Structure 1
Amino acid sequence: MAIPARTDSSHAAQWWRNIDHVTLTCIVILIGLGYILMLAATPAVAHRIGASRDMFILKQVVFLGLAGAVLLLTSTLSLKGVRNLALIGGALALGATFMTLVHGMEIKGARRWIALPMMSVQPSEFLKPCFAVVAGWLLSLRDTVRLKNGWRFPGRLAAILLFLLIAALLQAQPDIGMLSVITMVFVTQLFVDGLPIAFFMGLVGLMIGAFGMAYLTFSHVRSRVQRFLHPDVGDHYQIDTSLRAFGNGGLLGRGPGEGRVKDLLPDAHADFIFAVAGEEYGLLLCLFIIGVYALIVLRTLLRLTRETNPFVILSASGLITGFGLQAFINMGSTLHLIPTKGMTLPFISYGGSSAISIALELGMVLALTRRRVEPGLFAPPAATSSASALQLGRARAAMLEGELRP
């Protein structure tokens, strides 16, 4: 891609100048790693189920291509466009999540997917980024909208009611992992919104209590926790195989295509793709992958420290929390740092719903964190007072130093 000239005022040129190039580069790196690791992991999986050797690879090429297009298109949106997309997408995802309870595919006792001709879709994957933006918008209205009687708009109450509706749907599927991520996203947003520390600690206590109820209510949650806490209880085949893969890989790995974990684990191309990376490319690549995810999260948080728009701060903090948590849960499960949970590694694991929803999530992050210049800053009216001219000069200098924010 050619770098646009500084005099180019087209929409594409303005997008390129104002986008976060570091985060965008990290995303491209993750997509590239996703292609490479799919080449390593999917042929063995396809052979096991009697499918064409290149079936998963070709489908993932299409999925990642669509994800890249969604990412770029979403990153060009205005703040209003991001909000509207989240409202429409959230309504559709909420309706589709409800439909899974009636017409969804049942896999391992859970109804989370809707079957389509070329793929199965998990609507809750798209509910996560849309909820983060809608909740951020509702919370920000508390400071920007005043009712006629002088009261603030009850944005926090509206966001809580929306969260409770989503929580009820996810619990009914059940999808405790996604419910945990969305809960952490919302609690983070409430904390950033200035929730008193006493109420915040109360929420943490409620989350611990809810986890205890899930442990007592759902047999699969209880089984995973017991297997994590007691290595001598239950089946540990997947985790033991995953840990052996990291040990076999060592520092530099066994080499491309030389790993064995993909021949032994049914989910080597999805939930345990990190183990494939560790065995074939070693500790150095694993640390590099962790560093890329960490850089995306930290870079976004640093840009938010210079932001003044509450909608941007609340929405982007929720989005990046969900992204970082998903990456941590996948890698932590693979390394047996936390109980196992079927959650994909963003842009690297196989899956269309995951790739496109993560692209939507990070596309919104890029759109929200773009630098924005006030219209007319470089073309002021001809008649202006000396005081306003001085203010304009200071504003220009501040903008050129990257310090001006709307």
Structure 2
Amino acid sequence: MSTFDLSNSSTDRGARRANTTITPQNAPNRRNTELAMLAFAVVLPVFAYANVGLAMDGTLPAGMLAYGLGMGALALVAHLVMRRFAPYADPLLLPLATLLNGLGLVMIWRLDKAGKLLASNYPAAANQLMWSGLGIAFFIGVIVLLKDHRILQRYTYISMAVALVLLAAPAFFPSRPGDFGAKIWIHIGSFSIQPGEFAKIILTIFFSGYLMVKRDALALASRRFMGLYLPRGRDLGPIIVVWLLSILILIFETDLGSSFLFFGLFVVMLYVATERTSWIVFGLIMSIGGATVVAMAEPHVKTRINAWLDPMAAFGPHPPAQSSEQIGQTLMAFGSGGVTGSGLGQGRSWLIQFAAKSDFILGSFGEELGLTGMMALFLLYGLIVQRGLRTAVAARDPFGKLLAVGLSSAFALQVFVVAGGVTGLIPLTGMTMPFLAQGGSSVVANWALIAILLKISDSARRPAAEPEPATAPSPAPAR
């Protein structure tokens, strides 16, 4: 039996009930541990805030007390809600998200204070703080209203329809010069939203529900072709649709990051559900082939690939017409930071201009915190992914296992896509770094993602003797 065994037969259910004495279901309530970690997650950004003020002005920031009290109050409310509605949930996910969100706010405020950004890049710290508060409100709403994560299984195909609408919507709205060629935002007056951030969660719900029903057909009813096991045509249909969708997103919205994220997410979940390595090879062939064809035809994607191949071309004596300076500037910022960094508030990462606190905020952290600070940030992200996968292992139902794996994989893929683009490992995608970067849609969506993982964790860790929240029975698998 594999780690992510999704079997749901009566025999397996009986075996699991017989083994409850050695499963995570008997885990103790860890809310006091969460409270202690939350205190650290609030105090550390407050010290970072003070450090920036002392480095830039020689005095403590005037708003330091208000910032600390505000973040502390939001974290305390979220913790109290967890005690009441998810008492057995994982104790580390909420503090980790709070710490990353707080550090992101500090860096955005630091870049605002530099006063040397483009005029169109308005001071964003106050706006980002508002979105962070809204994100925590969404977090609380999910924790309170989502009585049982299995309810989401009822909306499998509705989730697919909603996700398709969200992904296609930006193509029907006019883009702005500040979008730099990517049509991934919806602008209504001064308000803008990036629906792809919410689509990743909704698509994960669809994938989980679909694969829970079709996993046997995809794993067993297959034919061998050139060493690969391929499923039947009627089972392969939705997979081809998702592949075509990712390519269409890349063509019409020039969004390389979302295309990679959605298709990569589906391939990972297919592998977990079927345990067939051939899906990894099959998915890589389809994604690389499709991206290569589009890159040859779409000028915007081609420009990003050229900038990736030669990030310093913009600084040469004869720079290309559509060259990009940001990747080269970020690489220089990383080099300037060295091992320990220049110190918070003492770098020059505002030279990256508009992207310093959005796409390339990792460059700002890399210069001022150095390699050591970057390793610490990636460790925080890695812990979130690890706790999410641990939740998947402990989940009692196959839908919960797939949903936890999907959400954790989506989070990990987004971190990889953004960090890889900024460091020059892969072409730049334009996505936002979860919790750190400026962007209201991103911070709200990622707080909702953390909330769903915590609800699954609460169900998985709840003692067997204690009843779970009342909910209607899960729908029978469709034939």
The unaligned stretches of length 5 or more in structure 2 are 1-30, 34-79, 218-232, 314-319, 468-479
Aligned equivalent of 1:20:
90
CA contact (8 A) 2:341 2:366 kept: yes
Measured at CA, do residues 84 and 115 of structure 1 come closer, stay the same or move farther in structure 2, by a change above 3 Å? farther
Q: For 1:323-346, what per-residue CA distance to the aligned partner results, in whole angstroms no more than 9, with x for missing partners? A: 111112222222222222211110
Measured at CA, do residues 297 and 99 of structure 1 come closer, stay the same or move farther in structure 2, by a change above 3 Å? closer
Aligned equivalent of 1:32:
102
Give 2:141's aligned amino acid. L
Give 1:211's aligned amino acid. A
Aligned equivalent of 1:136:
208
CA contact (8 A) 2:255 2:429 kept: no
Aligned equivalent of 1:321:
409
Counterparts of 1:3-402 in structure 2, within 5 Å, are: 13=83, 15-44=85-114, 48-49=118-119, 55-76=123-144, 77=146, 78-83=148-153, 91-106=161-176, 107-142=179-214, 159-160=238-239, 163-164=242-243, 166-167=245-246, 169-171=248-250, 172-194=252-274, 196-230=276-310, 233=313, 234=320, 235=323, 237-372=325-460, 377=465
Q: CA deviation at 1:304?
A: 1.8
2:347 and 2:266 map into 1 onto residues whose CA distance is 39
2:244 and 2:84 map into 1 onto residues whose CA distance is 39
Q: CA deviation at 1:260?
A: 0.9
Q: CA deviation at 1:105?
A: 2.5
What RMSD over aligned residues (CA atoms) do the two structures have, in Å?
Answer: 3.3
CA contact (8 A) 2:181 2:300 kept: no
The unaligned stretches of length 5 or more in structure 1 are 5-9, 146-153, 380-406
Q: For 1:248-297, what per-residue CA distance to the aligned partner results, in whole angstroms no more than 9, with x for missing partners? A: 22333222222111144321010111111122222222111100001111
Give 2:301's aligned amino acid. V
2:401 and 2:460 map into 1 onto residues whose CA distance is 14
CA contact (8 A) 2:104 2:435 kept: yes
Greater Cα shift, 207-216 or 110-119: 110-119
Aligned equivalent of 1:386:
none
Three-state SS of the structure 1 residue aligned to 2:185 is: strand
2:203 and 2:368 map into 1 onto residues whose CA distance is 37
Aligned equivalent of 1:398:
none
Q: CA deviation at 1:48?
A: 2.4
1:110 and 1:363 map into 2 onto residues whose CA distance is 29
Give 2:129's aligned amino acid. V
Q: How many residues align?
A: 364
Instruction: Give the TM-score normalised by the residue count of structure 2.
Output: 0.68
Instruction: Give the TM-score normalised by the residue count of structure 1.
Output: 0.79
Give 1:136's aligned amino acid. S
Measured at CA, do residues 169 and 324 of structure 1 come closer, stay the same or move farther in structure 2, by a change above 3 Å? same
Give 2:110's aligned amino acid. A
Q: For 1:345-370, what per-residue CA distance to the aligned partner results, in whole angstroms no more than 9, with x for missing partners? A: 10110011111122222222222222
CA contact (8 A) 1:253 1:280 kept: yes
CA contact (8 A) 2:173 2:187 kept: no
Q: CA deviation at 1:66?
A: 0.9
Measured at CA, do residues 238 and 189 of structure 1 come closer, stay the same or move farther in structure 2, by a change above 3 Å? same
Measured at CA, do residues 232 and 243 of structure 1 come closer, stay the same or move farther in structure 2, by a change above 3 Å? closer
Measured at CA, do residues 375 and 46 of structure 1 come closer, stay the same or move farther in structure 2, by a change above 3 Å? same
CA contact (8 A) 1:33 1:348 kept: yes
Three-state SS of the structure 2 residue aligned to 1:110 is: coil
Give 2:276's aligned amino acid. P
Percent identity of equivalent pairs: 27
Greater Cα shift, 39-48 or 72-81: 39-48
Q: CA deviation at 1:375?
A: 9.7
